[in-house]
Structure 1
Amino acid sequence: MNNYFIGIMSGTSCDGIDITMCKINDKKIDFIDGNFAPFSDKMRNNLLKLSNSIDDNIEMLIKSDESLADFIVKKINKILLENKILPCEITAIGSHGHTVRHINSDDINYSLQISNHAKIAKQTGIDVVCDFRRGDIACGGTGAPLVPVFHQAIAQSYEPTVVVNIGGIANITILPAIDDNNSDIIGFDTGVGGALIDVWSELHLKSRFDDKGSFARSGNCDYELLKSMLSDDYFKIKPPKSTGRELFNLRWLQKKIAKQKPCDVACTLCNFTATSIIDDIKKYASNTKKIIICGGGLKNDYLMELLSSLAQPTPVLSINDIGYKSDYVEAMAFAYLAYLHINKKPANITTGGTKTTLGALYPK
């Protein structure tokens, strides 16, 4: 067996899919190739609407489920062709799908991802492992984050470390030292990552994101607004916990702002993301010796500067600094989750649930 796995990720940023090919065994996770495939405006708008409870539409859900699967199949075939690898050489695909609803409340916990995985398996000729989040919830977890088990595999060392993944939502993995047998790995969503920065940029810059954080840098932080943002009840909940666009969205933001300049709101949003992350690190990982950042947030220079400043004297590094490509870390994580499923190893090490193998398998 070649131990080749493909990982596919579509995150809260809703900008496209990351696809990666890896070679994985018990000792090593090797990156082979990866690329990013952006969504068309139509697909992106439909997916964003589906994450908005005001726009519930079953027909749109079904059509998006099918069209996203077709899109993914094309990109899988492309990466196979470019690497001259046959479908029969791939052990499995680990696919996250795209989250259209993720709710954690006292009444109900559920998480729904779409992308017709049965179709992907049949049309690529490769087994597909998917539906990881609902498996975690069924075992008593919160369904997110799922990446800590991967962070453990690539970043745990002989000193306490925190890995921060900044996508649309931000999450952290608190890794005790390898020789510390008395501390547990902890992982949870700290709150919003780039989702509000992106939606604000789209509203005022007509751009899907704030390039390098230049819009935010041009403004001034409104500390009263920042205080109001940080007063949200989510930040009073103890981990394990998870969140999504269902809470942190444009409606939430518009209730907070008054007549601030758009650039000042952008600046405050960057401070909001950075502060909520570092506050939780100081609260739950005060002994950490280094912080490693991955995800799209790495491309926001202003956000990275804020994180480094707030974290002092703890050094803030990029995942690139430890030998992994930041653009593909989450996709690699889902390739690794597929590997764990195939080898019947537990994946939910941090969300408070029973330790078990996660994912459902659609055969080729």
Structure 2
Amino acid sequence: IKMNYNNIKTIFILIQLIGIYYSHVLGYNDDDGDSTAVEKPQNHSLSKTQSSNRALITENNTIQNTEAGIPNSNKIGRGFDPRGYSPCIRNQTQVVNYKFPSEAQHVVDAIEKEHKAIIYSTANVVNYELTMHTPAMKLNKNFITTIKDMPCCKTDAETQAYITDNIFSAFGLYYVQKLRLSGITTQTLTISNSSVTKSGMDKHSMTNAATNGFRKFFKFELGATNAHDIEKSRETMKSTKTEFRSISGGDPGIEYPGWKNTTASNPEIVTFRLKPITDLFVAKYFPKDTDINEKSKLIKQAMDTYLRTPIICYNGCSGHGKCVATEIWGFGNCQCNVGWTNYDCSKQSELSVGTWCGLYNSVIG
């Protein structure tokens, strides 16, 4: 499954459960010493790609349209050392935070509660792709022992508990097969729809304004920009409210010209590809375990159960509606009962004067 900006909703379903240590389960060189650049671990290939820039805008007030507006690099850890540190989350506290991170909550609130559009800009410097050669990888001895000691072959509470506690909690559900690393700068702006309408701004002018503001703040070279575009950008930025600006990877204490040169020794995860842990339960890796096929089936069943997570709606729809899944961040939209409205179904609907229920009052309550 390839994780990238275009299917971020899948990332949020998976990222809350990722816990496998890239070095804890898979074979690694355990070298000591300081790292001065991106290093290639054993059984991996490392390639360098060109940098990329992206600026985008979401004008429609739906959660689905923000899929590309939150970078996954902020959801799995700060920095990455390929010599042995995990890029993935493990303990329950982190799971809760990464399942519904504060920036994601901000975006949902801005769209659902405050009727705002989101303008998101990001720029990456030199990218590195680190790819594992799966046929050559080796499994950690502790992982092999855990699978060997797994009870088999009944679907019962004891087996479920063993799988959850000793496999999922200790090693996770997925392993990282490919990483793209770089330095990354981000900016997230919000602007009210009323301001958009009042100023007559269109998608093009708003995107240009955000891009120019982004370049100016991070001291990127502006390039060729005419006077009209600069003035339009200033007008647009007056209507926006800056919520998030960040630099990840490299040395965050210095300005861009010098910062970009430090990202090779402290890169940020930009995109990544995951494979399910169940792919590992084959005779090749467990040649002496005659029950490995049955164990694989049991673990897959347990994973299906483990992946069923509750949907979150504002205030539980206040008891006046149904929480309908959006498949984004485990977040749902409230489908209000008749007579109730608002994003959390907390307000009673207005009734026109002269109707049977609104004969004497224009609004109930």
- Answer yes or no: same fold by TM over 0.5: no
Which entry has the higher C-alpha Rg, 1 or 2?
2
| Structure with the higher helix share, 1 or 2 | 1
**TM superposition score category, shorter chain reference:** under 0.3
TM-score, normalised relative to structure 1: 0.21
TM-score, normalised relative to structure 2: 0.21
